[in-house]
Amino acid sequence: MKTAKKSRLTQWIVRGVCLLPPVLLSASSYAQQGPAAKPEAAATAAPVQPLPFSHKTHLNFQLSCKFCHTNPDPGNLMTLPAAQTCMGCHSAVATDQHAIQQLAASAKSGQPIPWKPVYSVPGFVYWSHRTHLEAGLTCEMCHGNVAQMEVMSRTTNVTTMAGCVACHRKREAPTGCETCHESQSSLLSRPSVPNPDRRAPSGLQSAELPGQ
Question: For residue range 19-57, what is the model confidence (pLDDT) as tens digits?
Answer: 333 333 333 333 333 333 343 343 358 999 999 999 999
pLDDT at 8: 54
pLDDT at 123: 86
C-beta separation of 125 from 181 below 8 A = yes
Residue % of the chain over a pLDDT of 70: 65
C-beta separation of 126 from 194 below 8 A = yes
The predicted model gives 105-127 an average pLDDT of: 93
The predicted model gives 68-83 an average pLDDT of: 94
pLDDT at 56: 96
C-beta separation of 31 from 24 below 8 A = no
Q: Using one digit for the tens of pLDDT, what is the confidence trace for 148-179?
A: 999 999 999 999 999 999 999 999 999 999 89
Average pLDDT along the chain:
75
Cβ contacts of residue 2 below 8 Å, gap of 6+?
A: none
Radius of gyration, CA atoms only, the chain:
26
HEC string of the chain?
Answer: CHHHHHHHHHHHHHHHHHHHHHHHHHHHHHHHHHHHHCHHHHHHCCCCCCCCCCHHHHHCCCCCHHHHCCCCCCCCCCCCCCHHHHHHHHCCCCCCCHHHHHHHHHHHHCCCCCCCCCCCCCCCECCCHHHHHHCCCCHHHHHCCHHHCCCCCCCCCCCCHHHHHHHHHHCCCCCCHHHHECCHHHHHHCCCCCCCCCCCCCCCCCCCCCCC
- Say how many C-beta atoms besides its own lie within 10 A of residue 142's C-beta: 20
Which of 129, 9, 23 lies closest to 69 in space, CA to CA? 129
pLDDT at 117: 93
pLDDT at 142 over 90: yes
pLDDT at 107: 97
pLDDT at 38: 40
pLDDT at 205 over 70: no
Length of the chain: 212
For residue 129, report the phi and psi dihedrals to the nearest 5 degrees: -60, -40
Q: What is d(CA 133, CA 130) in angstroms, rounded to the nearest whole number?
A: 5
User: Which range, of 8-12, 101-105, 155-159, 205-209, averages the lowest pLDDT?
Assistant: 205-209
Choose between 74 and 42: higher pLDDT.
Answer: 74
Cα distances (angstroms) measured from residue 63 to each of 12, 26, 79, 118: 69, 48, 16, 21
